[in-house]
Structure 1
Amino acid sequence: MTLPIETRVDPAHPSGVRPATAVLSPVVIGLAVTAVCALLLSLPLSLPIGPMYWDVVVFVDGGWRVLTGQTPSVDFFAPVGPLGYWLFAAGLELFPRAQPVLLAQWMLLPVSLAGLLPVLARIDRRSRRLALALLVPFLVFQLLPTNFEQFSSYPSVDGFGIYNRHATQLLYVLTVALVFERRQRMLLFVIAWTCLALFLSKITGFLSAGILCAFAFAAGRVRLGTALGALLGFGLVLAGLEATLGVVSAYIRDIAALVGMNEGVLASRFVQAASIHFGIFAAGSLLVAALLLADRGPIATDALALVRQPLRPARWSALLDRDVAWLGVALLAGLSFETQNTGGQAFIFVWPVLVRILCDASRHSSRMTATVLVLAAAVAMPPLVNVLHRTARALVGQALYVKVPAENLRALDSVTQRPELVDRAERMIENYVAFPQTYEALAEQGQLPIFSLYSELDFQAAWLIAANEAVEAIRAFETANGVRFETIMSLNFVNPFPYALERKGTPRIAIGADPFRAVPPPDARTIEAVRRTDLVLLPLCPITMANQKIQSIYAEGLSDRVAMPLSRCWTAYVRPGLLRGN
């Protein structure tokens, strides 16, 4: 079984494509999918809440900050680059009631399709099957808000790992261009476009792109002028952003701070990534070995020629520009990317390389062809099947689900879950409130109530319920005391309150506040911003070491405040003098 590249041109039509088949062209399909996504984002859809669902609130917080005049990295510390927050802010403006996970998942479509469709349009003129073999899996991964990893046995969607999914989808686009595109001007555009998007979204994705681009240059796919042109375009855009917003230097400082907080774990992360994705990586390694065995003669000949004439670029191209080398480099780039990730769509950008391998499979012996097909399927199918299966379960399963009560949180209320899990969430809140000493004791020992607390669906539902109650309590407090809190901060991983109440978030602080990995020591300006904040909220359901750690990080800015109960799950720290009208 191979994917032949046939010529499919109709000279009777100016476009060269028969009208009957034009509707199946990648460009038409891509534009139609985008239109359908826009329609769905305009509808009040709900999805089942999943493990670590509150990660999507990082996008909500960051996007809302952008809409209220803040610039990522300049005005607040972010765990990733600014592009996602800019796109989410635009999405909130266009689709204010969109389901947040769908908005976060689909907001990348205009960026990714802008790089992919021009390449596929050229491929489509030669082979419709090849173009669709590259487009269809991309759309599956781009459209479905589901990770390859599974953290819960119950059907749900993944609100976490979104920025990892974005990065692998952009790397997919880049790989398609590097493997199948020959026009140097188009390569210049796609390389500059995707690398810019990766740099401004997920720096580890940008580094993986560097591995792929460097190999493409060494293999002769990318000429020197193309590489320099892409670098120039990339640099000019960044220079423009720096001159107008100052965001590039601030972002680089944030990256340096994150690296400093997470140094010393790279080797263990490689082992962890290889372990988590052992099936894909092992099958890919076996496929590399099979291709090396099948091509051992030509490889030896080209290697010997390179040794004799090492300064001739054509010798390097002859040795490197082959299926086995592309696969090995793609696997290396994928493993490198996964060392810094928890959740995502791992290794999906190996798919274009596998398609190329399948196109060439018939040149091997029958036995080797069968081996290559089996191993290629072992690499490609697990992510595709797993994502499709988990998404289907979530969509079918929620037919019997109920809404999580979060009507005060605007679009964040568009989630459902099993009735018994929502009921358990309510009962766990009652338990957190009735027995605070238990959770204080666990926090003092550096322990969570359960090791996988943040992955538990009842915790995510309970957190939304508690945040919903806090919004209602804030409104009641403001009415009773004749005040309005213009800036609101949460001593928690995420802060939905400025968005829910249409206020402002405290500038200078970290969003997505993991105090052990992503909250740098505050400087004087940050402490002053905390001190000027009208309302600071401390969550109590449950008391955790992480929240206590965040409180201690910003303690200097909270030193003159008096704690008062806001609701059963939140303690309020009101700015001194605010209640006296000062």
Structure 2
Amino acid sequence: MSLPLETRIGAHRVPHVSPSSAILSPLAIGLATVLVAALLLSLPISLPIGAMYWDVVVFIDGGWRVLNGQTPSVDFFAPVGPLGYWLFAAGLEIFAKPQPLLLAQWMLLPVTLAGLLPVLVRIDRSSRTLALALLLPFLLFQLLPTNLEQFSSYPGFDGFGIYNRHGTQLLYVLMVALVFERRQRVLLFVIAWICAALFLSKITGFIAAGGLCAFAFAAGRVRLSTAVGALAAFAAVLAGLEATTGVVSAYLGDIASLVGMNEGVLISRFVQAASIHFGIFASGCLLFAALLFLDSRPIASTIGAAARHPLRAATWVALLDRNAVWLGVALLAGLFFETQNTGGQAFIFIWPVLVRIACDASRHSQRATVAVLVLVAAVAMPPFVNVLHRSARAVVGQLMYVKVPAQNLKALDSVTQRPEVIDRAAHMIDNYVAYPRTYEALAADGQLPIFSLYSELDFQAAWLMTANEAVDAIRAYETAHGVRFETIMNLNFVNPFPYALGRQGTPFIAIGADPFRAIPPPNARTIEAVRNTDLALLPLCPVTVANQTIQKIYAEGLRDHVAVPLSRCWTAYIRPGLIRGN
């Protein structure tokens, strides 16, 4: 059996070792991290805008809707589960003007640390080094809002892939417990806690977690009573939410709609995920093969014993609870999770398994030990290097950056970028206005101005700048005509305007509105909500096929709205009653 170190810890055979310093304990570090994060969220911090940064506005839109009494999935269609919007709403209540990307990244800390620290506190009593080896890498990924993938040549922080990062961070906590925790009560809590969080945030992460938990049960790590208890606790949480909010059934309906809109060939997505993360996955496969080779004799012996006594559970546990098998299962779970992702911190939850393998490497010959440790490093280093390198570039680059003019957008104005990028954004806005037919022709042909438009930093800066202009234009129109738009809808991917103006978002529509993947056909209730919307905005800088498609999707509800040129980059569709009242 592998990993004698972890087994001794679980069985309490290692004598108590006094902590060298209480300040370096996992509990102290974890609590200090939460306090520092809260302090930083209270300060006026700006971050360099990155590719597809506008994804963070999905959390702003959803969180603001929650604060105004809407329930995710029940009152609006969302691309992910409700947990992130609830947490973000709490953050908006606690902090006056938090940097939104940092809030979206750090709001999960209370959830993840609640599952991680009980395990690490016990490990710390026996091995401070092991406890910190599990905690510090996790905190690095939890604190840095950076993906492994790079979509822009210039440095910036990633506003996209946030929910994917949340998924891998929660899976990291679960894996620590499954690999290193032997107390069944703690396992019951962590499994129920993390699986509930994954279900309510990223459903593919929940499915991956289910596979890991099933394997841990088969490998003898989780007793039947623990599995049943965790399942019961998980079901109780969902039942309580369903009884009080109706969110669970509505969320499952949203998932079914998303699956229907995103049907594809799963095998091809596995190949794509493996190719995108080839360095990690290929190195993991080599490590898997090396471990199988090194343990080939005991594995063959255990297989023979299982064949002779197929009903003897201990034989199957001996076969499954091995470093190689844990690694193989983790790689498959990680690959499955990445089949549905565009950006994130892929495969970071394999780290606890790698720590287990490194702890056990010395039982092999000297050459084999070196080979195993080299392969462990090959699997572990790409995420660390990519995230640290990209984050360091963004921090250093910001020294020469200037604020993006977005002062009307509340917390969204806390972004910076290179002066030349902002200058280009201003010139591109002028170009969109001066030559609209060019972009209309491209949209009619189903094309964007450039293939990677949404990844371009100048587009993200220009989007914020034009949204900033729209707020001024809305206020000016309201003052000039003596009206007030209480409900505001944006015929665009995201909608910052209810938050920026303190109004309501149109209920029952999709947020994170990708018309090709994430807007279900509107039903009668949705059409009626759009019909009752005071103001719908259509962005023109530039005209895109996506925005035109969103307009077509909701065209029935907007049929009676009156089109009014609001500003150089926006057309307003105003509810007829407000026009007649002028």
The answer as to whether partners of 2:18 and 2:125 remain within 8 angstroms in 1 is no
Q: Which residue number in structure 2 is paired with residue 85 of structure 1?
A: 85
The answer as to whether partners of 1:306 and 1:316 remain within 8 angstroms in 2 is yes
Q: Which residue number in structure 2 is paired with residue 152 of structure 1?
A: 152
How many angstroms does 1:32 deviate by? 0.4
Out of 268-277 and 174-183, give the one that drifted further.
Answer: 268-277
Inter-partner Cα distance in structure 1 for 2:252 and 2:528: 23
Inter-partner Cα distance in structure 1 for 2:4 and 2:541: 56
In the TM superposition, 1:390-409 aligns within 5 A as 390-409=390-409
How many angstroms does 1:293 deviate by? 0.4
How many angstroms does 1:79 deviate by? 0.1
Inter-partner Cα distance in structure 2 for 1:3 and 1:28: 28
How many angstroms does 1:96 deviate by? 2.6
SS of the counterpart of 2:416? Answer: strand
The answer as to whether partners of 1:538 and 1:571 remain within 8 angstroms in 2 is yes
Counterpart amino acid of 1:290?
A
Inter-partner Cα distance in structure 1 for 2:268 and 2:540: 34
In the TM superposition, 1:269-308 aligns within 5 A as 269-308=269-308
In the TM superposition, 1:109-120 aligns within 5 A as 109-120=109-120
In the TM superposition, 1:505-520 aligns within 5 A as 505-520=505-520
Inter-partner Cα distance in structure 1 for 2:363 and 2:141: 30
Inter-partner Cα distance in structure 2 for 1:297 and 1:27: 41
In the TM superposition, 1:259-274 aligns within 5 A as 259-274=259-274
Inter-partner Cα distance in structure 1 for 2:16 and 2:496: 52
**Cα 1:397–1:341 shift into 2, 3 Å:** same
Q: Which residue number in structure 2 is paired with residue 24 of structure 1?
A: 24
Inter-partner Cα distance in structure 2 for 1:83 and 1:169: 14
Inter-partner Cα distance in structure 2 for 1:555 and 1:23: 60
The answer as to whether partners of 1:6 and 1:127 remain within 8 angstroms in 2 is no
Query: Does the alignment pair 1:213 with 2:177?
Result: no
Inter-partner Cα distance in structure 1 for 2:564 and 2:291: 68
Q: Write out per-residue CA displacement over residues 223-260 of structure 1, whole angstroms, 9 at most, x where no aligned residue.
A: 11100000000000100000000000000000000000
Q: Which residue number in structure 2 is paired with residue 33 of structure 1?
A: 33
Q: Which residue number in structure 1 is paired with residue 232 of structure 2?
A: 232
SS of the counterpart of 1:543? Answer: coil
Q: Which residue number in structure 1 is paired with residue 251 of structure 2?
A: 251
In the TM superposition, 1:121-520 aligns within 5 A as 121-520=121-520
How many angstroms does 1:567 deviate by? 1.0
Inter-partner Cα distance in structure 1 for 2:45 and 2:272: 36
In the TM superposition, 1:20-99 aligns within 5 A as 20-99=20-99
**Cα 1:513–1:424 shift into 2, 3 Å:** same
SS of the counterpart of 1:500? Answer: helix
Q: Write out per-residue CA displacement over residues 502-549 of structure 1, whole angstroms, 9 at most, x where no aligned residue.
A: 100000000000000000000000000000000000000100000000
**Number of corresponding residues:** 575
How many angstroms does 1:5 deviate by? 7.2
Inter-partner Cα distance in structure 2 for 1:276 and 1:64: 35
The answer as to whether partners of 1:6 and 1:126 remain within 8 angstroms in 2 is no
Inter-partner Cα distance in structure 2 for 1:147 and 1:452: 18
How many angstroms does 1:577 deviate by? 1.6
Counterpart amino acid of 2:356?
R
The answer as to whether partners of 2:17 and 2:127 remain within 8 angstroms in 1 is no
SS of the counterpart of 1:573? Answer: strand
SS of the counterpart of 1:536? Answer: strand
Inter-partner Cα distance in structure 2 for 1:549 and 1:184: 52
Q: Which residue number in structure 2 is paired with residue 12 of structure 1?
A: none
Inter-partner Cα distance in structure 1 for 2:96 and 2:341: 29
Inter-partner Cα distance in structure 2 for 1:28 and 1:462: 43
How many angstroms does 1:267 deviate by? 2.1
Counterpart amino acid of 1:416?
T
Inter-partner Cα distance in structure 2 for 1:370 and 1:380: 15
Query: Does the alignment pair 1:533 with 2:504?
Result: no
Q: Which residue number in structure 1 is paired with residue 12 of structure 2?
A: none
How many angstroms does 1:4 deviate by? 6.8
Counterpart amino acid of 1:398?
Q
The answer as to whether partners of 2:16 and 2:126 remain within 8 angstroms in 1 is no
Q: Which residue number in structure 1 is paired with residue 574 of structure 2?
A: 574
**Cα 1:213–1:6 shift into 2, 3 Å:** closer
Q: Write out per-residue CA displacement over residues 137-190 of structure 1, whole angstroms, 9 at most, x where no aligned residue.
A: 000000000000001111100000000000000000000000000000000000
Out of 555-564 and 520-529, give the one that drifted further.
Answer: 555-564
Task: Report % sequence identity.
Answer: 79
Q: Write out per-residue CA displacement over residues 438-479 of structure 1, whole angstroms, 9 at most, x where no aligned residue.
A: 001101111000000000000000000000000010001001
SS of the counterpart of 1:126? Answer: coil
How many angstroms does 1:366 deviate by? 1.2
The answer as to whether partners of 2:17 and 2:126 remain within 8 angstroms in 1 is no
The answer as to whether partners of 1:402 and 1:417 remain within 8 angstroms in 2 is yes
The answer as to whether partners of 2:19 and 2:125 remain within 8 angstroms in 1 is no
SS of the counterpart of 2:21? Answer: helix
SS of the counterpart of 2:488? Answer: strand
Out of 562-571 and 504-513, give the one that drifted further.
Answer: 562-571
How many angstroms does 1:570 deviate by? 0.6
SS of the counterpart of 1:577? Answer: helix
How many angstroms does 1:579 deviate by? 2.9
How many angstroms does 1:21 deviate by? 1.2
Q: Unpaired runs of 5+ in structure 1?
A: 9-14
Q: Which residue number in structure 2 is paired with residue 11 of structure 1?
A: none
Counterpart amino acid of 1:460?
Q
The answer as to whether partners of 1:3 and 1:130 remain within 8 angstroms in 2 is no
How many angstroms does 1:581 deviate by? 2.9
Inter-partner Cα distance in structure 2 for 1:313 and 1:412: 57
Q: Write out per-residue CA displacement over residues 272-300 of structure 1, whole angstroms, 9 at most, x where no aligned residue.
A: 10110011000000000000000000100
How many angstroms does 1:308 deviate by? 1.1
SS of the counterpart of 1:542? Answer: coil
**Cα 1:391–1:74 shift into 2, 3 Å:** same
Inter-partner Cα distance in structure 2 for 1:49 and 1:568: 24
The answer as to whether partners of 1:273 and 1:339 remain within 8 angstroms in 2 is yes
How many angstroms does 1:7 deviate by? 9.4
The answer as to whether partners of 2:188 and 2:229 remain within 8 angstroms in 1 is yes
How many angstroms does 1:265 deviate by? 3.2
Counterpart amino acid of 1:36?
V
SS of the counterpart of 1:360? Answer: helix
Inter-partner Cα distance in structure 1 for 2:264 and 2:361: 42
The answer as to whether partners of 2:72 and 2:247 remain within 8 angstroms in 1 is yes
Inter-partner Cα distance in structure 2 for 1:543 and 1:47: 28
Q: Which residue number in structure 2 is paired with residue 558 of structure 1?
A: 558
**Cα 1:63–1:36 shift into 2, 3 Å:** same
How many angstroms does 1:16 deviate by? 6.0
The answer as to whether partners of 1:7 and 1:125 remain within 8 angstroms in 2 is no
The answer as to whether partners of 2:474 and 2:566 remain within 8 angstroms in 1 is yes
The answer as to whether partners of 2:19 and 2:128 remain within 8 angstroms in 1 is no
SS of the counterpart of 1:33? Answer: helix
How many angstroms does 1:264 deviate by? 2.3
Alpha carbon RMSD of aligned pairs, Å? 1.5
Inter-partner Cα distance in structure 2 for 1:419 and 1:503: 33
Inter-partner Cα distance in structure 1 for 2:529 and 2:121: 51
Inter-partner Cα distance in structure 2 for 1:563 and 1:7: 72
Inter-partner Cα distance in structure 2 for 1:449 and 1:459: 11
